[in-house]
Structure 1
Amino acid sequence: MDYVIKNTSNENLSLKRFLLKHQISQRTLSRIRRREILLMMNGQLVDLKAKAVSNAEVKLIFPPENNSKLVADFAPIEVLYEDSNWLIVNKPAGLASVPGPTNQTTTLVNRIKGYMIKQNMIDRIPHIITRLDRFTSGLVLVAKHHLAQSMIETQVEEHAMDKRYLAIVNGLVEPISGLIDLPIKRVVGQPQRIIAANGQSAQTEYWVRQANQAASLVEAKLYTGRNHQIRLHFSALGYPLLGDQLYGGNTTLITRQALHAWRLRFLDPFSKQQLEVTAPLPLDLQQLLSSLKLSFAQL
């Protein structure tokens, strides 16, 4: 693919600084230095030390992306949003996001590669931007090519995306809104994370949307992206997610953690517009709410 940036400024910048200013990552600059990505200005091949002259047309030429070792799975995916740069899909609970030691062939990434092949896309490496635990459902943002991944990196690193989750937790959560600020630490050799003073900083804001004495439907916003963050934070407050056996949740009514990536809002670095997408609540969580006499309809 080709990506063109018009220099509308009179600043006397090197192409390196010019590209950084336009959200091209250091990783992409390294690939330009290695000539894996070609850099041209006004039709001429140049390097990063050249000056970005006024009104110049700066072009990046990316080679097609593919990985023969990544197996394509042609099982269907639910697409919530798609354009030339982004794919946002609704991941079902039980499907792993990325290949791992025990599954190299039937994950969400494998399915998306199959989708890319069926759509005759030139680039066929899905770049997962917002990964979910296997048993968490909901929306996953995927960059269709290296450039999109590169340009969204700053928002990921600065936790600038507005990610909202819906969780169904045990008990009547009080207070009805707040900020959970508890550091999270990994335990070597164990799947669980723990709250520990020497852990990584972690913040979760929440709002109780509906509740009774038995359970609460909670909307949560992440300010950090630690593994198991929502699950551990609510468990630490005494309100474990229903179905979350790892953190003490009741598995009587549901056997997977009652957690759904519901809404994502971020600044599209290509269009410079806010992009917002929501994922419908899956049937198992709808049924769980109904059994608890709670409702999602008011959100």
Structure 2
Amino acid sequence: MNLVSFQWIVPKEWEGAFLREFLREDKQISRKLLKEIKFQGHLSLNDQSVTVKSVIKEGDCVCVRLPVEQVSEVLKPLQYELDIIYEDKHILIINKPPYLPTIPSREDSDYSLANAVVNYYEKQRIPGTFHAVNRLDRNTSGLVLIAKHRYAHDLFVKQLKHTLQRTYLAVVHGRLTPPSGTVRAPIARKTTSIIERMVSPDGKDAITHYHTLDASDKATLVDVQLETGRTHQIRVHFHYLGHSLVGDDLYGGETSKFPRQALHAKRVTFVHPFTSEEMMFEAPISDDMATLIREQIDDRSLLNDC
């Protein structure tokens, strides 16, 4: 099993500090994770086992080995062929097909992307459990960014409001007006439902930017970028605009032409939490959504860019 470890050389500005301060402030290791490293992982300074109270100096070599993460007994491995867009020892990016839930439900606890990833980890001897940085609804296709360990997940969560950008393609009913804009409308849970959300002054801030790529009188193909990540945000905001997503029967969409919400997570852009490299990945739309665009908007040249 390939255990996850990190090695850093102490820079001059941390001369004389406690190791705990260096790991918490400079390396952004949470207090809880640092405690788990202490009891279940390993911490060394210049190849000697130490505690977080050790004083460090410039040029010291700090080594941290993360504890092995336990997979929940209820998360059973699922044999499933994953469409892996990118992978390194910290990150896994999957192009999720429609109709596959991101996480298991009470009704179907054995069928989800999480189950499939756990199975993949088991076969590859990766010592981790499922840490989704972003989640997609069951019927939404596209990119899911997964952290292979909790440290990476913690660092990605810090990026969500700053450098991590998520771009979607959606097909909405009618010709969208204005063709581009920003929706700033707070979202709350609908009081009569445990699933449905609604725009409400009592909700949490939600900001969606959109730009029309092409349109007909039947439908509009729109590029959407999230500034916040509320549950069902895109679906709720376009319903609020009076242009529900095609196929989204929960929020007023018509399903006769398309049996699911026409939504695809096309692009993710972020700064790698360990290499500081700016990274961007894209996933092509699924065949059913490509057919919908041809039938409702009929712009084949645009499909080549999707």
Asked whether the two chains share a fold, i.e. TM above 0.5, the reply is: yes
Match of 2:170 among 159, 167, 170: 167
> What stretches of structure 1 move > 3 A for 4+ residues in a row?
none
Contact 1:9 1:54 in 2 (8 A): yes
Say whether residues 1:233 and 2:232 are aligned partners. no
- Aligned residue type for 1:97: T
Match of 1:52 among 52, 56, 61: 56
State the partner residue of 1:251.
Answer: 255
**Alpha-carbon distance in 2 for matches of 1:169, 1:112:** 32
State the partner residue of 2:181.
Answer: 178
Report the alpha carbon displacement of residue 205 of structure 1 after superposing the two structures with TM.
Answer: 0.5
Which TM-score applies when normalising by structure 1? 0.94
Q: Secondary structure at the match of 1:255?
A: coil
Report the alpha carbon displacement of residue 26 of structure 1 after superposing the two structures with TM.
Answer: 3.3
State the partner residue of 1:72.
Answer: 77
Match of 1:7 among 1, 6, 10: 10
State the partner residue of 2:152.
Answer: 148
Equivalences, count: 296
Between 234-243 and 91-100, the greater mean CA deviation after superposition: 91-100
Deviations 1:125-178 (A, max 9, x none): 12111111111110101111223223323113x353110000000111111211
- Aligned residue type for 1:99: P
CA distance change for structure 1 residues 86 and 27 in 2, over 3 Å: closer, same or farther? same
Question: Where do 1:188-207 residues align within 5 Å?
Answer: 188=191, 190=193, 191-207=195-211
**Alpha-carbon distance in 2 for matches of 1:110, 1:298:** 32
Report the alpha carbon displacement of residue 298 of structure 1 after superposing the two structures with TM.
Answer: 4.4
Question: Where do 1:27-38 residues align within 5 Å?
Answer: 27-33=32-38, 35-38=39-42
Unaligned regions of 5+ residues in structure 2, if any? none
Say whether residues 1:24 and 2:61 are aligned partners. no
**Alpha-carbon distance in 1 for matches of 2:112, 2:259:** 20
Q: Secondary structure at the match of 1:30?
A: helix
Report the alpha carbon displacement of residue 42 of structure 1 after superposing the two structures with TM.
Answer: 1.1
**Alpha-carbon distance in 1 for matches of 2:305, 2:94:** 24
Say whether residues 1:95 and 2:117 are aligned partners. no
State the partner residue of 1:85.
Answer: 90
CA distance change for structure 1 residues 135 and 128 in 2, over 3 Å: closer, same or farther? same
Which TM-score applies when normalising by structure 2? 0.92
Contact 2:266 2:285 in 1 (8 A): yes
- Aligned residue type for 1:161: L
**Alpha-carbon distance in 2 for matches of 1:250, 1:169:** 10
Q: Give RMSD over aligned pairs.
A: 1.6
Say whether residues 1:296 and 2:296 are aligned partners. no
**Alpha-carbon distance in 2 for matches of 1:59, 1:130:** 30
Report percent identity of matched pairs.
Answer: 35
**Alpha-carbon distance in 2 for matches of 1:144, 1:171:** 41
Deviations 1:233-282 (A, max 9, x none): 01100110000000001112101000000000000011110111101100
Say whether residues 1:41 and 2:48 are aligned partners. no
**Alpha-carbon distance in 1 for matches of 2:46, 2:64:** 11
Question: Where do 1:267-278 residues align within 5 Å?
Answer: 267-278=271-282
**Alpha-carbon distance in 1 for matches of 2:33, 2:157:** 11
- Aligned residue type for 2:82: I
CA distance change for structure 1 residues 68 and 252 in 2, over 3 Å: closer, same or farther? closer
Q: Secondary structure at the match of 1:89?
A: strand
Between 208-217 and 11-20, the greater mean CA deviation after superposition: 11-20
Say whether residues 1:134 and 2:138 are aligned partners. yes
Unaligned regions of 5+ residues in structure 1, if any? none
Q: Secondary structure at the match of 2:7?
A: strand
Say whether residues 1:224 and 2:231 are aligned partners. no
